């Protein structure tokens, strides 16, 4: 039990720190001329108590796996988190004043350009589910002592992803994660839906499996108790803090029209006088985490891939390669959105059940958890139907800003899935994934190739994506063939008398092979290139083929006409200065319905007979 004096001095410490966090939030945003001081002020007391009383973090060693984690899901409160880094002595005042300026690490919203930031936030509703991923890895994989704290805005609880994240935490009993809801009543353009109805927040959060502490977010003692309780709790425990936006500065407290607005210098002067803090700022001690190291990982073994000679779906090869990878490497983890018997991620589950994570039908949660797990060093693969990765596009986009290394697998690509119809057909996934910064986009056509690409993905940085096919496809490659990222493969032709180049991917490689064989019977030789690496595309290889075939090119793909292999090829070729003389792009142009895979390929005009026709047209 703390004595009265100890308590008083602790509260004094918190009060000093809160004052400094408020002052620094205002100072840096006023210097920037933009930013979100009022959103910072509402949470300043919460974060002061956290930093000085409950956060265990070695700022000199951010890579330490025992460190606590703090994620600002309300990323716009960046002045506050930077003020915390300043208070901890991680950055100096000069750097704090570079906030939002060109070249500064202190961007408008936090990103891992700063070593103490796990992930980029700023697209609301993402930090909470990502935090759950960090906590899940801590609890189920590392058994680490760290606690994950996540500051959540009230406005962002409108995002369904917040409830997906809370569901994960409740279901997995993540008592090592504490979401702190900053209920300051005001959103960007006015009152939030629930304003200060903390009963409603409590009921919602509790219904997703959480104990919920409702507190006054400006009562330092109450905050202190709540954080202590939450950290010690044996059940997932969330904090709902009633706060005042702009707290501490009378003329902006609980006022509309002050979201995302910096104080002008005169207003800032008044505000700082009210707050009563004067720079230069103090450095406050932050508790170090306990001495702890994770169990040493086993040395990775050589991956023992299956080899294939009989037709097999690439999605099945994906699953089997994952299983082999999981057996060889202890850092590989797999997440799936309740379709692991379709994506075949279940093959991994069978061999490494402790590293398989069922995310149910919640793709946003799946990507978030994957991003969270890679924060602490794991190598996540996440899979669902490729069409349903569209559900998580914002999370994939943000993962790139987070400099996250995650691997995605989308099965059931294109019209060739057959009877299930267009809702289940990915026809925009290549476009979507190509337009992710630094991404790698792969699209195997046979099982041996799929297996090799899966293994390669484990060591890729950034966002990598493999598109797999529902139907069984013939084996084109020997098991020892290699498929470097950025390469391509000639699967038919290759001689100096090839007259047309056909670029295909996945299912259409097989249609192109059929076309080549049919044309060969008529004495027409074509070169078929398997563009298994859609990004980067092998522009040089294609250009070499075009020299032989007189610039005649067909691209055939099971994808909408926009943004897929066709666009990738054209962009790649023009980038290296190669122009086309005659081009045909066979892609999906009309809305498909149901039917057999072969029927739908024909209906879309991307079947063998269409390629034959296109080749003749180019020659004729």
CB 318 within 8 A of CB 341: no
Stretch 571-610 residues interacting with its own copies (CB under 8 A) = 571, 574-575, 577, 579-583, 585, 591, 593-596, 599-600, 603
Using the contact rule CB under 8 A, the part of the chain among 56-64, 205-213, 307-315, 472-480 near its own copies is 205-213
Stretch 12-41 residues interacting with its own copies (CB under 8 A) = 32-35
- Residues 38, 39, 155, 473: which binds its own copies (CB under 8 A)? 155
Percent helix, strand, coil in the chain, to 5, is: 45, 15, 40
Using the contact rule CB under 8 A, the part of the chain among 87-95, 108-116, 175-183, 239-247 near its own copies is 108-116
Residue 214 three-state SS: strand
Number of residues that bind its own copies (CB under 8 A): 111
Stretch 110-139 residues interacting with its own copies (CB under 8 A) = 111, 113, 120-125
Stretch 372-401 residues interacting with its own copies (CB under 8 A) = 387-388, 390-391, 393-394, 397-398, 400-401
Supply angle C-alpha 522, 527, 528, rounded to 5: 110
Question: What is 520-564 written as a DSSP string?
Answer: HHTT--EEEEE--EEES--HHHHHHHHHHTTTEEEEEEEEESSSS
Antiparallel, parallel or unpaired: β 526-530 and 489-492 = antiparallel
Is 173 a binding residue for its own copies by CB under 8 A? The answer is no
Stretch 70-99 residues interacting with its own copies (CB under 8 A) = 75
> Which of 423, 424, 433 shows the shortest CA–CA distance to 395?
433
Residue 199's CB: how many other CB atoms inside 10 A?
11
- Angle between helices 160-171 and 127-136 in degrees, nearest 10: 20
Q: How far apart are CA 558 and CA 504, in angstroms?
A: 9
Using the contact rule CB under 8 A, the part of the chain among 223-231, 310-318, 336-344, 480-488 near its own copies is 336-344
| Nearer to its own copies (CB atom), residue 452 or residue 552 | 552
Active site residue 63: no
| Nearer to its own copies (CB atom), residue 58 or residue 358 | 358
Partnered with residue 585 across adjacent β-strands are: 555
Catalytic residue among 363, 428, 471, 557: 363
Q: How far is the CB of 537 from its own copies (least distance, A)?
A: 10
Q: How far apart are CA 61 and CA 39, in angstroms?
A: 29
- Cα separation values, 25 from 69, 85, 278, Å: 21, 11, 13
| Nearer to its own copies (CB atom), residue 15 or residue 204 | 204
Is 280 a binding residue for its own copies by CB under 8 A? The answer is no
- Residues 3, 4, 94, 103: which binds its own copies (CB under 8 A)? 103
| Nearer to its own copies (CB atom), residue 45 or residue 167 | 167
Please enumerate in sequence order all residues whose Cβ is within 8 A of that of 92, keeping only pairs 6 or more positions apart, or say none: 86
One character per residue 500-539, x = contact with its own copies (rule: CB under 8 A): -----------------------------------x----
Using the contact rule CB under 8 A, the part of the chain among 229-237, 238-246, 360-368, 473-481 near its own copies is 360-368
DSSP 238: E
Residue 15 three-state SS: helix
- Residues 9, 207, 297, 307: which binds its own copies (CB under 8 A)? 207
Residue 40 three-state SS: helix
Q: How far is the CB of 499 from its own copies (least distance, A)?
A: 18
CB 155 within 8 A of CB 188: yes
| Nearer to its own copies (CB atom), residue 96 or residue 303 | 96
Using the contact rule CB under 8 A, the part of the chain among 176-184, 311-319, 406-414, 563-571 near its own copies is 563-571
Q: How far apart are CA 268 and CA 32, in angstroms?
A: 12
| Nearer to its own copies (CB atom), residue 286 or residue 396 | 396
Q: How far is the CB of 476 from its own copies (least distance, A)?
A: 27
Is 570 a binding residue for its own copies by CB under 8 A? The answer is yes
Q: Which residues are catalytic?
A: 363
């Amino acid at each position: 039990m703390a004595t009265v004096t100890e308590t008083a001095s602790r509260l004094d410490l918190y009060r000093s720190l809160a004052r400094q966090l408020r002052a620094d939030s205002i100072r840096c945003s006023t210097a920037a001329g933009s930013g979100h001081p009022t959103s910072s002020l509402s949470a300043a007391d919460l974060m002061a108590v956290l930093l000085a009383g409950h956060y265990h973090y070695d700022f000199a060693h951010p890579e330490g796996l025992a460190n606590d984690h703090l994620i600002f899901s309300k990323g716009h409160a960046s002045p506050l988190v930077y003020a915390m880094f300043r208070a901890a002595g991680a950055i100096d005042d000069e750097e704090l004043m570079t906030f939002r300026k060109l070249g500064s690490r202190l961007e408008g919203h936090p990103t891992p350009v700063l070593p103490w930031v796990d992930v980029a936030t700023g697209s609301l509703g993402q930090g909470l589910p990502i935090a759950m991923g960090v906590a899940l890895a801590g609890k189920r994989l590392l058994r680490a002592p760290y606690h994950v704290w996540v500051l959540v805005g009230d406005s962002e609880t409108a995002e369904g992803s917040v409830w997906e994240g809370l569901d994960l935490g409740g279901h997995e009993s993540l008592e090592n994660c504490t979401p702190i809801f900053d209920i300051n009543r005001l959103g960007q353009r006015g009152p939030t839906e629930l304003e200060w109805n903390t009963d409603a927040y409590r009921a919602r959060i509790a219904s997703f499996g959480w104990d919920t502490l409702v507190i006054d977010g400006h009562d330092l003692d109450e905050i202190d108790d709540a954080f202590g309780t939450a950290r010690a709790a044996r059940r997932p425990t969330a904090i709902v803090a009633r706060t005042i936006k702009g707290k501490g500065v009378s003329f902006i407290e609980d006022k509309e029209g002050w979201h995302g607005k910096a104080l002008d210098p005169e207003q800032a002067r008044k505000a700082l006088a009210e707050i009563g803090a004067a720079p230069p700022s103090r450095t406050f001690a932050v508790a170090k985490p306990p001495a702890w190291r994770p169990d040493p990982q086993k040395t990775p073994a050589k991956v023992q891939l299956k080899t294939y000679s009989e037709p097999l779906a690439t999605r099945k090869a994906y699953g089997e390669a994952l299983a082999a990878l999981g057996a060889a490497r202890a850092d590989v983890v797999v997440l799936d959105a309740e379709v692991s018997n379709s994506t075949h991620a279940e093959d991994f589950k069978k061999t490494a059940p402790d590293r398989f994570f069922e995310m149910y039908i919640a793709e946003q949660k799946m990507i978030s958890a994957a991003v969270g797990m890679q924060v602490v060093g794991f190598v996540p693969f996440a899979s669902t139907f490729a069409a349903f990765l569209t559900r998580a596009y914002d999370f994939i986009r943000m993962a790139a800003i987070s400099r996250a290394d995650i691997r995605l697998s989308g099965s059931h690509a294109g019209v060739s899935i057959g009877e299930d119809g267009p809702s289940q057909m990915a026809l925009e996934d290549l476009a979507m994934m190509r337009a992710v910064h630094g991404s790698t986009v792969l699209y195997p056509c046979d099982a041996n190739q799929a297996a090799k690409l899966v293994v390669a993905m484990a060591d890729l940085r950034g966002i990598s994506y493999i598109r797999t096919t529902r139907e069984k496809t013939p084996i084109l490659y020997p098991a020892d063939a290699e498929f470097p990222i950025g390469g391509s493969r000639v699967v038919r032709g290759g001689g100096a008398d090839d007259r047309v180049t056909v670029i295909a991917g996945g299912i259409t490689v097989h249609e192109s092979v059929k076309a080549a064989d049919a044309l060969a019977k008529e004495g027409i030789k074509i070169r078929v290139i398997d563009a298994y690496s859609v990004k980067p595309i092998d522009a040089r290889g294609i250009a070499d083929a075009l020299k032989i075939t007189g610039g005649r090119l067909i691209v055939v793909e099971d994808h909408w006409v926009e943004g897929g292999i066709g666009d990738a090829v054209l962009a790649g070729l023009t980038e290296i200065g190669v122009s086309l003389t005659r081009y045909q792009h066979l892609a999906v142009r009309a809305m498909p319905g149901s039917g057999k895979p072969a029927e739908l390929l024909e209906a879309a005009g991307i079947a063998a007979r269409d390629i034959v026709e296109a080749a003749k047209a180019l020659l004729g």
